[in-house]
């Protein structure tokens, strides 16, 4: 670094001139390259004689070189008697270990000079003797002790000057950097449309930058700067929660980071994301809150559009699955109806053996009810609830259904090991996994002859075992039910394997990738994992790991031991149902349980009957879809008359529809069609005994 670039030379010159005036000592400040920055009080004997004569000037330069050269050896200062007879001293100026300049003083004697020596020197170089001796007379004499003290002073002074200069230079550089940083910040804030606020809590004064006024759609002169002026622009639905968040920040409980809506003066609504820091005094009293506001309206709109788009994609996938499912269910329904009709015909032919056909008919009807529930689940009309699932039965159901719908050139084979555990899960979601994987496998085979193999087994991953899923993530230790589906189709390359589970990725091989992203979502919800292996032309293998919970065996045992109680009721039930066959069988079941039954074929008729004999009616069981007045309207009318009246809903629409149209806490019970004697008795028993179902 150059010394002249980090110090104020004029200030140094004034300082050196003052020192010379007080002490009579000369000073000089030189850059390392020899440039003279400051020179004060130089003696006439040097300026008028020694440095103007060629011969003596050469001596001066030689002395300067020797004097400065001695500083490179690391000495604190260097004292040298020049060849013209005067004493000079040099002090190095060091800044943070770096030699940056030299400070000189001198042109003095350390003892009285030899007059005869200087007379001879005047004669030798042709100086005017009288003028030369007069100049000699003005040269000061300093003792060695004085010279040493002067050098200590100059050494410290030189170091101080250098450090101060560097500090000043660094301060200037820091100021420049800060100025540039502020300019960049201002440009960034302006470009990013970031509003900045400073709330003086003590004086209730809000200070905003220009962007804040733009975000809130108001002019600076129209804003009072009070907290209430800002809070009045909060959206009514967000005001209470937003102010509660602020108060929490003022109590020091958390930093204020919050998203809310505002209503501009022109009526437009914008989404704002705020973040701030609160400052407190020594007693914990809030003094200031400083922070930012960002308009995130466009982001919110994009998120909502993305959500709706994903819903549409999911619905499309569900409809695609539903189409496949419907074909299989239609086939199964025809088989079920064939069983029912055939056994009914056999029963009619021989009433004495009719009892033998009833269990077969009942089982077929239960199978039909299960198919209906499956369709309702896929249509989103039934809730997804975890329960014990016997996977081999579930796989058999799906495989038997798909055999009639997938291409006839594809054969589905199953293999179940004997120790397959029962798991806890959502049967409808697990069914979707099985369907999606089998359908993809069959479509990957294309028009060729091929087979899809579906196997179930039990697997245990021990602690420390390195078993990883398709992403390379370790699968946690535990006991798993493993579902493996393999095919001998076209296989997949590395790019397809890497992207097959992306929500909107479509593969180039014949398989459509039906709902593959949904497979991972369902597995995640079940704490499961998936492995994938495939090579082009060599088929593919998907292995699904579903965890087996420790309490499953106990649950199975308790379920096997549960025996329905032979409960009998009493009282009068108002039964509302428009289907003659349904009301007939439901009424017969209720009477078998000990109830008196009043029948109504629509809501209006039921309402009139209740108004006439309310005192005699214990509870109401009503259908939903009926002419004249539906079940929803009847429910509301009856609750208006008697809010405590127990009302059981019996419907085939699905629980989700009912819960979305009626207050859940006011529904005494739900019994989904079709139901058997035991199911109806359980609901009636819970309601009559005051133990309403948890919905």
Closest CA relative to residue 332, chosen from 247, 403, 226: 403
Rg (CA), the chain: 49
The rounded distance, in Å, linking the Cα atoms of 487 and 413 is 10
Q: SS3 for 222-271, per residue?
A: HCCCCHHHHHCCECHHHHHHHHHHHHHHHCCCCCCEEEEEEECCCCCEEE
Looking at the structure, tell me whether residues 146 and 15 fall in a common domain. Answer: yes
The rounded distance, in Å, linking the Cα atoms of 216 and 297 is 12
Give the CATH number, domain containing residue 598.
Answer: 3.40.50.2300
The rounded distance, in Å, linking the Cα atoms of 251 and 25 is 68
For 15, 38, 57, 185, the CA distances from 10, given in Å and listed in that order, are 9, 9, 28, 37
pLDDT of residue 530: 92
The rounded distance, in Å, linking the Cα atoms of 162 and 81 is 27
DSSP state of 508: S
Q: Do the beta carbons of residue 165 and residue 100 sit within 8 Å?
A: no
Closest CA relative to residue 479, chosen from 420, 428, 429: 420
Looking at the structure, tell me whether residues 34 and 77 fall in a common domain. Answer: yes
> Does some domain include residue 376?
no
Grouped pLDDT means (10 residues each) for the chain, 695 residues: 79 85 85 85 90 90 81 73 88 80 86 91 92 92 83 76 75 77 61 81 91 92 92 94 93 90 94 93 91 91 84 65 61 72 83 82 76 62 70 86 77 88 85 85 88 93 88 90 93 84 55 59 86 91 90 48 65 91 87 92 92 88 90 92 92 74 88 84 89 39
Bridge partners, residue 83, by sequence: none
Domain boundary among 531, 555, 579: 555
For 128, 601, 620, 681, the CA distances from 677, given in Å and listed in that order, are 144, 21, 17, 6
Number of other residues whose CB lies within 10 A of the CB of residue 129:
13
Closest CA relative to residue 62, chosen from 80, 77, 45: 80
Looking at the structure, tell me whether residues 412 and 548 fall in a common domain. Answer: yes
Looking at the structure, tell me whether residues 277 and 215 fall in a common domain. Answer: yes
Looking at the structure, tell me whether residues 490 and 433 fall in a common domain. Answer: yes
Q: Do the beta carbons of residue 576 and residue 600 sit within 8 Å?
A: yes
Give the CATH number, domain containing residue 91.
Answer: 3.30.450
Looking at the structure, tell me whether residues 121 and 11 fall in a common domain. Answer: yes
Looking at the structure, tell me whether residues 512 and 537 fall in a common domain. Answer: yes
Looking at the structure, tell me whether residues 613 and 550 fall in a common domain. Answer: no
The rounded distance, in Å, linking the Cα atoms of 391 and 420 is 8
pLDDT of residue 49: 93
Looking at the structure, tell me whether residues 32 and 100 fall in a common domain. Answer: yes
Closest CA relative to residue 158, chosen from 100, 79, 107: 100
Give the CATH number, domain containing residue 537.
Answer: 3.30.565.10
Q: How many domains does the chain have?
A: 4
Looking at the structure, tell me whether residues 588 and 493 fall in a common domain. Answer: no
Looking at the structure, tell me whether residues 594 and 542 fall in a common domain. Answer: no
Q: Do the beta carbons of residue 371 and residue 333 sit within 8 Å?
A: yes
The residue whose two tokens read 């002019």 is 219
Q: SS3 for 398-465, per residue?
A: HHHHHCCCCCCCEEEEEEECCCCCCEEECHHHHHHHHHHHHHHHHHHHCCCCEEEEEEEEEEEECCCC
Give the CATH number, domain containing residue 234.
Answer: 3.30.450.20
Domain boundary among 249, 276, 295: 295
Q: Which domain holds residue 664?
A: 565-688
Closest CA relative to residue 32, chosen from 75, 81, 71: 71
DSSP state of 41: S
Which tens digit of pLDDT belongs to each residue from 230-273?
999 999 999 999 999 999 999 998 888 999 999 999 999 999 99
Cα dihedral 346→347→353→356 (10° resolution): 90
pLDDT of residue 553: 44
pTM above 0.75, yes or no: no
Which tokens sit at 186? 């201002």
Looking at the structure, tell me whether residues 551 and 570 fall in a common domain. Answer: no
DSSP state of 6: T
The rounded distance, in Å, linking the Cα atoms of 32 and 105 is 16
pLDDT of residue 561: 45
DSSP state of 352: G
The residue whose two tokens read 């201002």 is 186
């Amino acid at each position: 670094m150059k010394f002249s670039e980090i110090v104020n030379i004029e200030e140094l010159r004034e300082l050196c001139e003052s020192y010379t005036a007080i002490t009579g000592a000369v000073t000089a400040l030189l850059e390392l390259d020899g440039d003279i920055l400051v020179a004060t009080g130089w003696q006439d004997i040097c300026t008028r004689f020694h440095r103007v004569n060629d011969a003596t000037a050469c001596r001066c330069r030689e002395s300067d070189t020797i004097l400065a050269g001695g500083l490179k050896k690391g000495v604190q200062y260097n004292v040298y008697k020049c060849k013209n007879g005067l004493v000079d001293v040099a002090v190095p100026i060091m800044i943070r270990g770096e030699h940056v300049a030299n400070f000189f003083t001198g042109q003095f004697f350390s003892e009285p000079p030899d007059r005869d020596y200087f007379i001879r020197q005047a004669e030798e170089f042709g100086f005017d003797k009288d003028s030369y001796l007069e100049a000699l007379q003005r040269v000061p004499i300093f003792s060695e002790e004085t010279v040493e003290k002067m050098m200590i002073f100059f050494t410290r002074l030189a170091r101080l000057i250098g450090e101060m200069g560097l500090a000043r230079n660094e301060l200037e550089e820091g100021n420049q950097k800060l100025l540039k940083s502020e300019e960049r910040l201002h440009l960034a804030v302006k470009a990013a449309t970031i509003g900045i606020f400073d709330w003086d809590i003590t004086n209730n004064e809000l200070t905003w930058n220009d962007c804040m006024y733009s975000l809130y759609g108001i002019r600076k002169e129209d804003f009072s700067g009070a907290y209430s002026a800002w809070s009045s622009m909060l959206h009514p639905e967000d005001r209470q929660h937003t102010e509660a968040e602020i108060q929490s920040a003022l109590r020091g409980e958390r930093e204020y980071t919050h998203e809310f809506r505002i209503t501009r003066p022109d009526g437009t609504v914008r989404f704002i994301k705020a973040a701030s820091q609160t400052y407190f005094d020594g007693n914990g009293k809030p003094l200031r809150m400083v922070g930012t506001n960002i308009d995130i309206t466009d982001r919110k709109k994009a998120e909502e559009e993305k959500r709706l788009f994903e819903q549409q994609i999911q619905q499309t996938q569900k409809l695609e699955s539903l189409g496949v499912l419907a074909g299989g269910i239609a086939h199964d329904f025809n088989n079920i109806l064939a069983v029912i009709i055939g056994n009914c015909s056999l029963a009619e032919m021989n009433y004495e053996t009719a009892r033998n056909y009833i269990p077969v008919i009942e089982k077929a009807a239960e199978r039909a009810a299960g198919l209906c529930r499956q369709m309702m689940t896929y249509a989103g009309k039934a809730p997804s609830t975890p329960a014990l699932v016997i996977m081999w039965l579930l796989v058999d159901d799906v495989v038997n259904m798909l055999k009639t719908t997938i291409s006839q050139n594809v054969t589905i084979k199953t293999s179940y090991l004997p120790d397959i555990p029962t798991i806890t899960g959502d049967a409808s979601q697990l069914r979707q996994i099985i369907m999606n994987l089998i359908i993809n496998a069959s479509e990957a085979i294309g028009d060729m002859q091929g087979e899809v193999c579906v196997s179930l087994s039990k697997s245990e991953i021990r602690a420390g075992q390195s078993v990883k899923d398709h992403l390379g993530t370790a699968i946690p230790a535990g006991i798993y039910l493993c579902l493996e589906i393999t095919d001998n189709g076209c296989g997949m390359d590395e790019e397809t394997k890497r992207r097959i589970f992306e929500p909107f990725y479509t593969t180039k091989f014949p398989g459509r990738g039906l709902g593959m992203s949904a497979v991972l979502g369902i597995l995640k919800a079940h704490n499961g994992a998936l492995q994938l292996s495939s090579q082009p032309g060599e088929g593919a293998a998907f292995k699904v790991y579903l965890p087996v919970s420790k309490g499953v065996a106990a649950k199975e045992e308790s379920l096997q031991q549960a025996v329905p109680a032979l409960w009998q009721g009493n009282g009068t039930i108002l039964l509302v149902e428009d289907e003659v066959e349904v009301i007939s069988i439901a009424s017969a079941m209720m009477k078998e349980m000990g109830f008196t039954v009043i029948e109504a074929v629509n809501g209006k008729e039921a309402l009139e009957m209740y108004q006439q004999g309310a005192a005699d009616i214990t509870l109401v069981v009503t259908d939903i879809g009926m002419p004249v007045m539906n079940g929803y309207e009847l429910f509301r009318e009856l609750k208006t008359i008697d809010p405590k009246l127990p009302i059981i809903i019996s419907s085939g629409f699905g629980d989700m529809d009912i819960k979305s149209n009626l207050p859940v806490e006011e529904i005494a019970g739900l019994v989904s069609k079709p139901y058997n004697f035991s199911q109806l008795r359980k609901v009636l028993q819970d309601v009559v005994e005051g133990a309403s179902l948890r919905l």
